[in-house]
Amino acid sequence: MFVRTFGRAGRRDEGLADRRDRLLHSRLRSVAQPAARVSGLLLGAGWLYEARRGSDPGGRVEQVFETLIFLLVLFLLLGSGLWIGLALLGVALVGMWLFTTRPAGDAMITTIWTASSSWTLTALPLFIWMGEILFRTRLSEDMFRGLAPWVAGLPGRLLHTNVVGCTIFAAVSGSSAATCATIGKMTIPELSKRGYPDGLAIGSLAGAGTLGLMIPPSLTMIVYGVAVNESIAAIFMAGVVPGLVLALLFMGYVMGWAILHRGRIPPESVLPLRERFAASRSLLPVLLLILAVLGSIYTGIATATEAAALGVVGALAIARAQGALTWTSFTESLMGAVRTSCMIAFILMGASFLSLAMGFTGIPRALAEGIAALDLSPLTLIAALTVFYIVLGCFLDGISAIVLTMAVIEPMVRAAGIDLLWFGIFVVVVVEMAQITPPVGFNLFVLQGMTGRQITWIARAAFPFFLLMVAMVAILVAFPQLATWLPSQMRGPA
């Protein structure tokens, strides 16, 4: 029996080993093939580059050629399925090898350490962890139960729970996908059961979920602040008023649609004021948490990092009070925060090294000087950048788009005299659009998993809210004080 068992086990292990080897070989081939193509193109590009250097005394053709090589290698690496952080590091290494004499390894080590040891970045994993903890509580159920009585009398009725719920959860999350998933897991089945139109219910959730990037604490704002060396606390405060205005635009559209299609919205009973307050008691802990986090930043009592630590303690207390804090939920939330933080940190490391490599070539400075020579008005530049980021958002997530472009965009914006604090809010609004634009809109994938609908159907349902974000860009341009007033009123260190 022992021999037969051992023989079967040996054959079974051999079969697993064979399958593992075949899988490994297939993965190596999938990586080796694009790598071979990149290597061949790089050899050809290097040969052409050296051939043209002598016939280009002004250096313009050289800079254009360097830019094309950067873009070619970047798109090839991204198209091969390589992680974005690794793709950025790969492009930077190619730039260092081809265009500078500085040792690439030493430069990479120094740059990566500098980028990853920033004290400002410590707020990032803490805010992510706070959102992960609250995601695993019954906050979505409390949110719907507490908000429904207040919006039942408005045109559109319970559809507003999507917008208001996402606005509140965005203030304790910082992630668009987490905001969309947390609110949607309660509102989607509830609204469907009550007979609300699926298109508007899912579209409003897709649009309102993007508020997770606008209303602080926002992960995208932290990444932008680190990229351009701006105060995280000031950027947080700059996003409060525009975030609320965008939420009001979403609610206004829902109201207008409901007025035009009165027969499509089911009736709801309106509770007396006392019963509304009684139903909203479950929202009090999370509202106090929001007040503590944002209030401590605004008054100068705490920095963004200290407020993030306060938020984690408050989120743990809320989870404990609800009975949702178990060892399993604690470890899952912690590991979720670690995974997301490492992914963002890896992208930031690659972007920092790429910025250094591009700095050696002089491409950002040349582009800034070229834009200045065109004598474009700030309004024209903002319009061009809006189109640029909308197109880029079809292929990259928001954080990747910001870290990939800031090395080039920041000098252009400074040369045009645009306030970087205001520009940060503009970028966040435009990047929000990437969350609901196919083929890589994160919110679209989240909602596809929750509803089983096609990506294209969800994108069509969310399209009116995409247009409202475009309108928000116009409002920001017309009224820049929406983003700059609140930071100017802050007390204490920013």
Backbone angles phi, psi at 420, to 5 degrees: -70, -30
* Cis peptide upstream of residue 217 (ω within 30 degrees of 0): yes
For residue 369, the model assigns a pLDDT of 67
Same domain, 134 and 80: no
Whether residue 493 is contained in a domain is answered as no
Instruction: Please indicate, yes or no, whether residues 413 and 379 belong to a single structural domain of this protein.
Output: yes
pLDDT of res. 67: 65
Indicate the residue among 43, 70, 99 that finishes a domain: 99
Choose among 90, 82, 70, 73: nearest CA to 37.
73
Q: How many domains would you assign to the chain?
A: 2
1 inside domain: no
Based on the domain organization, do 226 and 84 belong to the same domain?
no
Residue 5 placed within a domain: no
Same domain, 390 and 338: yes
CA distances from 221 to 147, 250, 256, 323 (A): 28, 21, 31, 32
- Are 46 and 149 members of one domain? no
- pLDDT (0 to 100) of residue 78: 67
pLDDT of residue 443: 83
**Token reading at 394:** 């079809």
Cβ distance 39 to 59 under 8 Å? Answer: no
The answer to whether position 9 is within a domain reads no
Cα(346)–Cα(255) distance, rounded to whole angstroms? Answer: 42
Q: Which candidate, 318, 343, 340, places its Cα nearest to that of 329?
A: 318
The Cα-based distances of 465 to 220, 250, 367, 451, 483 in angstroms read: 20, 7, 33, 19, 21
pLDDT value for 62 = 59
The count of C-alpha atoms lying within 13 angstroms of the C-alpha of 40, restricted to the half-sphere facing its C-beta, is 6
477 is in which domain, residue-wise?
Answer: 120-488
- Same domain? For 134 and 73 the reply is no
Closest to 300 measured CA to CA, from 234, 241, 235, 240: 234
In terms of domains, do 178 and 326 share one? yes
Of 99, 130, 152, at which residue does a domain stop? 99
Residue 60 lies in a domain: yes
Q: What is the DSSP string of 105-153?
A: HHHHHHHHHHHHT-GGGGHHHHHHHHHHHHHTTTHHHHHHHHHHHHHTT
| pLDDT < 70 stretches in the chain | 1-67, 70-71, 78-79, 362-372, 439-440, 491-494
Q: What is the DSSP string of 333-400?
A: HHHHHHHHHHHHHHHHHHHHHHHHHHHHHTHHHHHHHHHHHHT--HHHHHHHHHHHHHHHTTTS-HHH
Distance CA 27, CA 29 (A): 5
In a domain, 3, yes or no: no
The domain boundary residue, chosen from 99, 129, 146:
99
Structure tokens at 39: 């290597």
Query: What is the pLDDT, as a whole number, of residue 428?
Result: 92
Say yes or no: 166 and 285 in one domain.
Answer: yes
Q: What are 203's two structure tokens?
A: 């579209």
Asked, for residue 114, whether it belongs to a domain, the answer is no
For residues 134 and 63, membership in a common domain is answered with no
Residue 104 belongs to some domain of the structure? no
Nearest Cα residue to 264 out of 201, 188, 309, 197:
197
The terminus-to-terminus CA distance of the chain in angstroms comes to 74
Residue 257 and residue 315 in one domain: yes
Same domain assignment for residues 334 and 436: yes
Instruction: Say if residue 297 is in the same domain as residue 183.
Output: yes
pTM of the model: 0.77
Question: What is the rounded CA–CA span in Å between residue 14 and residue 378?
Answer: 66
